[in-house]
Amino acid sequence: MKDRTIRVTPPLSEEEVRAMRAGERVSITGVIYTARDAAHKRLVEASQRGEPLPVDLAGQIIYYVGPCPARPGQAIGSAGPTTSGRMDTYAPTLIELGLRAMLGKGLRSPAVVEAMKRHGSVYLAATGGAGALLARQIMRADVIAYPDLGPEAIHRLEVRDFPAIVAIDTLGNDMYAEGKRRYARPQK
């Protein structure tokens, strides 16, 4: 079943993400939100103070990206995934608030994977360093919160056929660990 591509449009249901398996391809069409280090810090601090968040995260996908500025006539500049691990401190709080998927690249902490299993959230990977290629799947970008953060502001993105791979599923299966195991050779 690993060759099938799952087409999704947020908001995602818990059943939908719990059915995904590590290694499967996902194609996203619709609205997703960006956030990276500084925006995560503000979201979590706002949540701890009991304030409403600038975006309702229930069922949504957060894309870990700080895009380049758009040239005139472009929707967005280069926009590939940043290293997800830096968001590990904050991710469990957002998952508890209903975040259904995180889109980034790289390793996650055991605490994040635990939260994903418990609340039904999935970790998707886009190809790191393919920012010019991935920008072609982003049709529109608008800053909707924290504009003072510049590239770290929260953007609302309209994407079409945005490609990703399920890196870690809701059972804790990890494509990074599995892929490495398959190709590792004993060290001499």
Partner 1 sequence: MREIHVRSVTEAVRDLCLTANCDLPPDVAAALARAREAEESPLGKQILEELLENAAIARQDRMPMCQDTGVVHVFVELGQDVHLTGGHLKAAIDEGVRQGYEAGYLRKSVVDDPIFRRANTQDNTPAIVYIDIVPGDRLSLAVVPKGTGSENMSGLKLLTPAQGARGIRDFVVEVVDRAGSNPCPPVVVGVGVGGMMDRAALLSKKALLREVGTAHPDPSTAALEREILQAVNDLGIGPAGLGGRITALAVHIETAPTHIGALPVAVNLQCHAARHAERML
The site for partner 1 (CB under 8 A) is made up of 38, 65-71, 77-80, 82-83, 85-86, 105-107, 125, 127-133, 135-136, 149-151, 165, 167, 175-176, 178-188
User: Are the C-beta atoms of 124 and 36 separated by less than 8 Å?
Assistant: no
Instruction: Mark whether 155 is an active-site residue.
Output: no
Instruction: State which residue, 6 or 165, has the beta carbon closest to partner 1.
Output: 165
Q: How far is the CB of 81 from partner 1 (least distance, A)?
A: 9
Q: How far is the CB of 13 from partner 1 (least distance, A)?
A: 27
Instruction: State which residue, 160 or 180, has the beta carbon closest to partner 1.
Output: 180
φ, ψ (nearest 5 deg) of residue 44: -70, -40
> Could you say which of 40, 42, 105, 119 is catalytic?
40
- Measured between alpha carbons, how far is 61 from 64 in angstroms, rounded to an integer? 10
- Measured between alpha carbons, how far is 178 from 169 in angstroms, rounded to an integer? 12
Q: How far is the CB of 59 from partner 1 (least distance, A)?
A: 26
Instruction: State which residue, 15 or 184, has the beta carbon closest to partner 1.
Output: 184
Long-range contacts of 15-19 (CB under 8 A, 24+ apart): 16/100, 17/100, 17/101, 17/120, 17/121, 17/122, 17/170, 18/120, 18/170
In DSSP terms, 149 is beta-bridged to: none
Q: Annotated catalytic sites, by residue?
A: 40
